[in-house]
Amino acid sequence: MGVLTTPVFGQTNNIVERSFACSINDGYTMRDVVEVARSFGWSEDASPSVVIFRSAVAVAGEFQNNWDFVFASYYPSYADMVEKRGVFLNRSGGRTGLGLSDVATCGDRIRISNMQFASDRDGGPAEFSLAATYECELNGTTFDDALGRARVGEAAYGPNARASVTSRAFGGPAIQSNSQVGIRVSFPSAADFGTGLDARQQNTLPENAMTCGRASMWAQYLIHARNN
């Protein structure tokens, strides 16, 4: 079951990922944040196609010193993202009930990335899932090579794994263009994550010029999914 396998993404190769980091305000939990976000009135004319919150479980580097989760929005194209963000930014003020800013504080630094799945899979988004992510240096290889590596890795994790590759387009720490990608392997349940990681220990991936590291574990919460 793919995290983003919804009809809106069914006929596209590239998916646009817009993300930023957030921390949970004192007195609240990730469960509170998810409950508040799921209760939003996600209007069709302004909302992303899919919204996922990724909560840090065991994340490499300094992320967990400052942040608790990533707010990730997905669009089928840049044109769709620009249109939806334009409507959102021009909306009228005012709201009822708790807003995200009441339960979490988010940073201003936005990352926009290109994302592709390693293979085609059927199924809809999981309400809760787990994922493993890796940062990879291309070392002269290409994005297509990274997709190939992700495809092999997907098979090594077992039939329920779904791998994707992201490449930074805008924002975030400065990196050389076409030098780095991220590989994310998602599982539709905690049990599938466990069996997938066990299966991976029994499979050795073939040698490749790419070098991958900074392995991290995330809990993924589906917040919103548009079905058209």
Sign of CA dihedral 58, 64, 65, 68: negative
Q: What is the 3-state secondary structure (H, E, C) of the chain?
A: CCCCCCHHHCCCCCEEEEEEEEEECCCCCHHHHHHHHHCCCCCCCCCCCEEEEEEEEECCCCHHHHCCEEEEEEECCHHHHHHHHHHHHCCCCCCCCCCHHHHEEECCCCEEEEEEECCCCCCCCCCEEEEEEEEEECCCCCHHHHHHHHHHHHHHCCCCCEEEEEEEEECCCCCCCCCEEEEEEEECCHHHHHHHHHHHHCCCCCCCCCEEEEEEEEEEEEEEECCC
What architecture does CATH give domain 7-92+100-225?
2-Layer Sandwich (3.30)
Domain ranges of the chain: 7-92+100-225
User: pLDDT (tens digit, 0 to 9) for every residue of the chain, 228 residues total?
Assistant: 344 555 555 444 899 999 999 999 999 999 999 999 999 888 888 899 999 999 999 999 999 999 999 999 999 999 999 999 998 888 766 555 578 999 999 999 999 999 999 988 766 678 999 999 999 999 999 999 999 999 999 999 999 999 999 999 999 877 777 789 999 999 999 999 999 999 999 887 777 889 999 999 999 999 999 865
What pLDDT, on the 0 to 100 scale, is given for residue 94? 55
What pLDDT, on the 0 to 100 scale, is given for residue 157? 93
What pLDDT, on the 0 to 100 scale, is given for residue 10? 47
What pLDDT, on the 0 to 100 scale, is given for residue 12? 47
Radius of gyration of the chain (CA): 17
What pLDDT, on the 0 to 100 scale, is given for residue 67? 98
pTM across the whole model:
0.90
Joined together, the tokens standing for residue 140 give 């002269």
